[in-house]
Amino acid sequence: MSICHLSVSVIGPGHLLNGQPNQDSVLVKRVPNGWLAVVCDGMGSKPHSDIGSRQACRAAFDVIKTVDFNIESKSLIKRIYQHWLDSLGNMTANDAVTTCLIAWVSDSGELRTFQIGDGLILTSQQTTERSDTNDFGNITTGLGKSKQFSDWQVTKQQLKVGDVIALMTDGISEDINQGMELAFVNSIVESTDGKSIRQAKAWLKNEFRNWGTPNHTDDKTLAILVLS
């Protein structure tokens, strides 16, 4: 099974206005016997959240490329978390808080996902439930804030040829009409079919910059993998 992938990250109007960097990060890479996609959203007010999110993507890759696909979830999360902490140097974890969404798919189509904090991971087979209606839009947890295993959502599923995997920050997922998440992802796959990677990215960036929700402020980051 092979993978076609597309990933894009655009800075939000709110950060542009305040002269802040894009605090989201994305990584899609080949790992031994599979593929890895990571999307992270650094917590808005923290001084080093851009670095925190970038290092989280890197930590997931550095750890996952060295371990067996069947590693126990808690052990994997602990290793990634520790690797992230070690990578921060003199920064405190609290200054670099970030969400972390990980999708790790094997060459046989088996998918493992790990998520802490806001955002959405979905596949053709499974759409994650929306978060607690008692919460508000800018309340989240993440690396550097929680050290509880129970704050992670962990899934395992078997995918087939033609299925898609999408990871997105809440700058996108919170602004998609409820129930239309998979249609949204499928629409991107269809719209970019036949385009070069460069053209597809340019089109998607333009769509995110001209997002339909009024007064949208957040950075927007998305990774899509299609099994073929």
Partner 1 sequence: MSLKKFAVAKARALPVIILADTSGSMSVNGKIAALNEAVQNMVATFKQESARQAEIQVGLITFGGDSAEMHLPLAKASEIEAMQPLDAFGRTPMGHAFELATEVLEDKELITSRDYRPVLILLSDGIPTDSWQAGLERLTTSERGQKASRFAMAIGAEANIDVLEAFNNDLEARVFKANEARDIHRFFRAVTMSVTARSQSRTPNELAPINFDELDHDDDDLGLDLEGL
- Up-side HSE of residue 114: CA atoms within 13 Å toward CB? 25
**Cβ atoms of 38 and 98 closer than 8 Å:** no
- Shorter beta-carbon distance to partner 1: residue 36 or 185: 185
From 65-73, 106-114, 142-150, 194-202, give the range in contact with partner 1 by CB under 8 A: 142-150
- Shorter beta-carbon distance to partner 1: residue 97 or 223: 97
Q: How far apart are CB 38 and partner 1 at their closest, in Å?
A: 18
Site for partner 1 (CB under 8 A): which residue of 68, 134, 194, 198? 134
From 1-9, 60-68, 154-162, 179-187, give the range in contact with partner 1 by CB under 8 A: 179-187
Kindly report each contact of residues 136-142 with a partner whose C-beta sits within 8 Å and lies 24 or more positions away, as own/partner.
Answer: 137/170, 137/174, 138/44, 140/43, 140/99, 140/170, 141/99, 141/116, 141/117, 142/41, 142/43, 142/97, 142/98, 142/99, 142/100, 142/116, 142/117
Establish if 2 lies at the interface with partner 1 (CB under 8 A).
no
- Shorter beta-carbon distance to partner 1: residue 119 or 144: 144
Site for partner 1 (CB under 8 A): which residue of 4, 128, 184, 195? 184
| Residues, the chain | 228
Q: Site map for partner 1, 199-228, x if CB under 8 A? A: --------x--xxxxxxxx-----------
**Cβ atoms of 186 and 166 closer than 8 Å:** no
**Cβ atoms of 91 and 129 closer than 8 Å:** no
Q: Each residue of 66-78: b (16+ CB within 10 Å) or e?
A: eeebebeeeebbe
Only one residue has tokens 């994650």, namely 128
- Shorter beta-carbon distance to partner 1: residue 135 or 161: 135
Site for partner 1 (CB under 8 A): which residue of 36, 46, 121, 224? 46
Establish if 70 lies at the interface with partner 1 (CB under 8 A).
no
Query: Any idea what DSSP says for residue 73?
Result: H
Distance CA 125, CA 50 (A): 32
Which residues contact partner 1 by CB under 8 A? 13-14, 17, 43-46, 74, 77-78, 81-82, 85, 88, 91-94, 97, 130-141, 144-145, 147-150, 174-177, 180, 183-184, 187-188, 190-191, 207, 210-217
